[in-house]
């Protein structure tokens, strides 16, 4: 029988690490990550973490800003929980050693940014590499606590009682329970059985489902796809946030130009110098991301452009170097001096507002399975995420999930014995080019058919294509031995299917979901889109 731990945490971003730091007080913890421990969406978060911090701000204002951005679909309870508990989590981050930028005139004040959709300055940041600083602090604390982190292990599938029952010819239980996960080691080609009393999905988002994304290569929706295949409830997968301003460059494909630049007065314009945001929203560049992204998309299509421009030339070089050192240095390395040049930008897939459906403790519809961070749909974001709410949500729900799981740990029996992974008659593949071809096809038709602007015909084409692609992947998956690329391909295909199915059910336009055939909001759709795969 394989070894067992109390808590198996899949993912090493802010949500997974925060959960691990709290859960280690209750039992044994193992964190697994498929790349380097620091590689995650959190690592690349530039803008910051939103929290009511100044005396001029209030909980109610932050709640209202979040509800407005969410376009009627936020779960008010979740919003209240995150906004009110968030500042305490930020203080704990600071106590752990996270260094946020101080005000340039007052060393005892934190410098607070304002971003689109926020009525106040409430974004704490570490210059323009906040995520990296947060991960650094959490990893240092985790190492001090002796938390086990195993890298370069790729989660394949969850192991559940219902799945084991079918495999062993037993009657499946009425309520399913997770007991672990199968993990693939690319270095050895072996599959490990990892048993646990509690499994936590903290694998981040799925930006790599799209051709253009700000996400790193690890963002292939692994936790969402595994939960879907296991039969967990998923919700609001149609709401994919496209960041309005990713860098458009022929060699640098994933670099984000932070929302904070527009918060500091950055102006969007055509290459000719003409501004355009006033025609779309009275808040202009400070409108929520969905509005700004659609405006840019519309201008690009109207004028036959491949990008628009962001102008920061109103700021002095000294201010730019002080407030945006990371972005400034990166752009300089690419031959763009933001003190004298405009920045070429284009919208790109950035954040999934939907995910595994969870309650206020991060618990899913499968017993002892939790989902936190971008993998989960907590109800905070609704139809559109308010800028810089994601890191806050991750800390709050990781804390609540750890407390809930830790409190019930003594009531959970040791997980049952699990059969080894069955390779069957699979052989080594000599056609890796097939994986690359199908990967590119999925990402391209998702960008074209299920992107910023959708139509019923585009969604129908996408559904037809994803079914054909999944048949090909399924055949390949069982005929050939596993590789990390094949596992990720299977996951992005499943995420693509969920997005398409959810988008076809929402016959209106709301937040991040914009359908030209149904351009108005419809009160009949003020509800979550819940889907569940039959298992």
Q: Catalytic residue numbers?
A: 289
What are 112's strand-pairing partners? 124
Find out whether 271 and 369 touch, Cβ atoms under 8 Å.
Answer: no
Helix (H) or strand (E) holding 149: strand 148-150
Nearest residue to 379 (alpha-carbon basis) of 239, 220, 525: 239
Decide: helix, strand or coil at residue 82. Answer: helix
CA 345 → CA 46, 220, 309, 348, 514, distances in Å? 16, 23, 6, 9, 21
Q: Is the dihedral of CA 489, 220, 156, 535 positive or negative?
A: negative
How many Cα neighbours within 13 Å face the side chain of 315?
24
Provide the token pair at 193. Answer: 């059985």
CA distance 452 to 479: 36
CA 188 → CA 153, 191, 218, distances in Å? 10, 9, 20
CA distance 459 to 504: 7
**Measured in Å, how far apart are the chain's first and last C-alpha atoms?**
26
Provide the token pair at 527. Answer: 């509800």
């Amino acid at each position: 029988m394989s070894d067992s731990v109390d808590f198996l945490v899949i993912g090493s971003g802010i949500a997974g690490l925060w959960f691990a730091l709290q859960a280690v007080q209750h039992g044994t913890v193992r964190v697994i990550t498929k790349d380097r421990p620091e590689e995650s969406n959190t690592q690349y978060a530039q803008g910051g973490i939103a929290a009511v911090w100044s005396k001029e701000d209030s909980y109610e204002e932050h709640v209202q800003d979040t509800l407005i951005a969410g376009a009627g679909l936020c779960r008010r309870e979740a919003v209240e929980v995150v906004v009110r508990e968030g500042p305490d989590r930020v203080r704990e981050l600071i106590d752990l050693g996270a260094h946020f930028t101080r005000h340039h005139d007052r060393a005892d004040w934190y410098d607070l940014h304002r971003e689109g959709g926020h009525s106040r300055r409430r974004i704490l940041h570490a210059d323009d590499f906040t995520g990296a600083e947060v991960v650094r602090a959490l990893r240092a604390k985790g190492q001090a606590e002796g938390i086990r982190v195993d890298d370069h292990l790729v989660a394949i599938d969850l192991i559940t009682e219902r799945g084991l029952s079918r495999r062993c010819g037993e009657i499946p239980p009425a309520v399913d329970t997770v007991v672990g996960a199968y993990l693939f080691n690319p270095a050895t080609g072996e599959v490990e059985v990892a048993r646990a009393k509690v499994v936590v999905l903290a694998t981040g988002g799925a930006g790599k489902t799209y051709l253009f994304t700000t996400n790193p290569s690890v963002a292939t929706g692994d936790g969402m796809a595994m939960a879907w295949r296991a039969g967990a409830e998923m919700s609001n997968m149609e709401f994919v946030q496209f960041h309005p301003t990713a860098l458009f460059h022929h060699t640098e494909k994933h670099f984000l130009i932070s929302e904070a630049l527009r918060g500091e007065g950055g102006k969007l314009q055509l290459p000719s110098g003409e501004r355009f945001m006033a025609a779309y929203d009275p808040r202009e560049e400070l409108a929520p991301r969905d509005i700004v992204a659609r405006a840019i998309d519309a201008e690009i299509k109207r004028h036959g452009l491949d990008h628009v421009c962001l102008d920061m030339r109103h700021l002095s070089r000294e201010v730019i170097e002080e407030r945006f050192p990371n972005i400034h240095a990166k752009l300089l390395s690419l031959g763009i001096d933001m003190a004298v040049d405009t920045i070429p930008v284009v919208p790109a897939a950035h954040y999934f507002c939907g995910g595994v459906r969870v309650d206020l403790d991060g618990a899913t519809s499968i017993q002892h399975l939790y989902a936190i961070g971008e993998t989960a749909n907590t109800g905070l974001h609704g139809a559109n995420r308010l800028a810089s709410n994601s890191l806050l949500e991750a800390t709050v729900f990781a804390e609540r999930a750890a407390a809930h799981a830790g409190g019930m740990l003594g009531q959970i029996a040791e997980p049952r014995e699990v059969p080894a992974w069955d390779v069957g008659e699979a052989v080594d593949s000599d056609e890796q080019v097939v994986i690359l071809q199908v990967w590119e096809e999925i990402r391209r038709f998702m960008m074209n058919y299920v992107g910023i602007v959708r139509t019923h015909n585009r969604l129908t084409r996408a559904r037809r294509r994803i079914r054909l692609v999944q048949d090909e992947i399924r055949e390949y998956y069982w005929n050939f031995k596993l590789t990390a690329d094949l596992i990720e391909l299977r996951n992005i295909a499943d995420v693509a299917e969920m997005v398409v199915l959810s988008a076809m059910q929402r016959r209106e336009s709301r937040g991040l979901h914009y359908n030209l055939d149904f351009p108005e909001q419809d009160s009949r759709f003020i509800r979550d889109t819940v889907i569940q795969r039959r298992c």
